[in-house]
Structures are given as structure tokens and as C-alpha cells.
Amino acid sequence: MTNLAALTLKTTLAGLPGSYGIKGIYSTREGADLSQLIPSAINDVPNTKHGSWYVGLSMQQYPVQDPSNSARGWGVFAEIAKADGNPNTLEWSTYVGVGGNSLIPGRPADRFGLAYFRYGVSNDLKTELAPVFHLRDESGVEIFYNVAVTPWFRITGDLQFIRPASGDFSDSIYVGFGTYVRF
């Protein structure tokens, strides 16, 4: 059984809308005990662990909003979360960013975003796999710009830098382009 409780408070700060929330999850499910994944003998069955939990705080807030159109503007967003780290593969996570409509004059329908994330991989999992596989916390940055060529045609450029959880792999840069056509 999994239980989820969440509370979101919509606010207005300095006349601008935002929301702040808290959520918690508890599960009675059975999962692999991450501190005992590698069997010590051929016939050993990995141990399991009962129950897991997660708690997170989130926010989003407009610091800039178009006075003539409340659907346009840009805002900041963030979340920080803590989990048990066993049987969950993460002990904590966080992200923070900014995004919204373009700040470039004459381009109000364009959109942009910039965000940073970091995941704290379970210490039990890192320790257990250390003899065969190097794990570390994962982090990354993403930036995108979405150009409204017409009201029905958009082009997006996206750049990501990721430092993967697998310490055996080097940092990666991803470049992407996409289009959107609305019929």
C-alpha cells in the first residue's frame, strides 16, 4: 500500500502569483535491501526491506508578469526532497530553475528555461556496489530556447550538461533541436 499526502498553498507576493507545497509518500512495499545486493554465496537470495518514505518541499513564483496578459511572464521554481535511501535509490534530490516567456523585446511568444538538478544516490547502494561499480551523486544543467516562428510553428534548441551517477562514465553534453507544428 502506498500513501500520498500533499498540500499546495497558492500565494500572491508583491502582487505576483506563486505556489508553495509539501508532499509526503509512505509505502509498505517490499524492496531490495540496497546494503546487501551482492550475494556472498551462489545460492544466497538478496535480502529485502519493508517500507519506504519520501518528503519534498516545492515552490514556484512569478517575479515578472506581463500586466496586459497574466499568462505571460517568467518565474522561478525549485524542489528539495529527502528519502530513506534504502530501498529508495536516492537519499535526496533538488532542482532549481527559471523559465517563462522571452525577455527579448518583440519576442513575447518565445519561451526559455534554465535549470540545475542534483540527485544524492543512496549511500548504501554506493557502498554495496563500490567493489565492482563506482557510483556518485548525479547533477546537471539544462538550458533551452523555444522560438515562436508563427503561432502554429515553433523551433526549440536545447543544451544539457550531465555529470552521470556512474563514475565510470565521463561527463556528457547533449545538444538537441526540435520542432512543433500545430494543425
Residue 21, pLDDT score:
98
Phi, psi of 18 (to 5 degrees): -165, 180
Residue 17, pLDDT score:
94
Segment 7-12 mean pLDDT? 96
Question: Given its phi and psi angles, is residue 114 left (phi above 0), alpha (psi -120 to 50 degrees) or beta?
Answer: beta
Return the sign of the alpha-carbon dihedral for residues 87, 89, 94, 97.
Answer: negative
Dihedral angle at the C-alpha atoms of 123, 129, 133, 135, nearest 10 degrees? Answer: -10
Is residue 22 over pLDDT 70? yes
pLDDT digits (tens, 9 = 90+) for 85-142: 999 999 999 999 999 998 788 898 999 999 999 999 999 999 999 988 899 999 999 9
Rg (the chain; Cα; Å): 21
Q: What is the largest CA-CA distance in the chain?
A: 69
Q: Which of 46, 55, 110 is nearest to 82 (CA)?
A: 55
Residue 66, pLDDT score:
85
Write down the mean pLDDT value for the chain.
93
Residue 137 CA to residue 118 CA, distance in Å, equals 7
Beta strands in 33-171 (DSSP E): 48-65, 73-83, 90-101, 111-121, 138-150, 153-163
Q: Look at 32-41, 146-155, 168-177 and tell me which has the smallest mean pLDDT.
A: 32-41
Is residue 14 over pLDDT 80? yes
Give the pLDDT band of residue 46 (cuts 50, 70, 90): confident
pLDDT digits (tens, 9 = 90+) for 158-172: 999 999 999 878 999
Which pTM was predicted?
A: 0.86
Which cell goes with 171? 561527463
Which residues, including other chains, have CB under 8 Å from residue 84's CB and lie 6 or more apart?
51, 52, 53, 54, 91
Which cell goes with 92? 535526496
Domains in the chain (CATH in brackets) are 2-181 (2.40.160.180)
Give the pLDDT band of residue 44 (cuts 50, 70, 90): confident
Residue 41, pLDDT score:
63
Residue 39, pLDDT score:
74
Work out the end-to-end distance of the chain between its first and last CA atoms, rounded to an integer number of angstroms.
Answer: 43
Segment 65-69 mean pLDDT? 86
DSSP bridge pairs for 176: 158
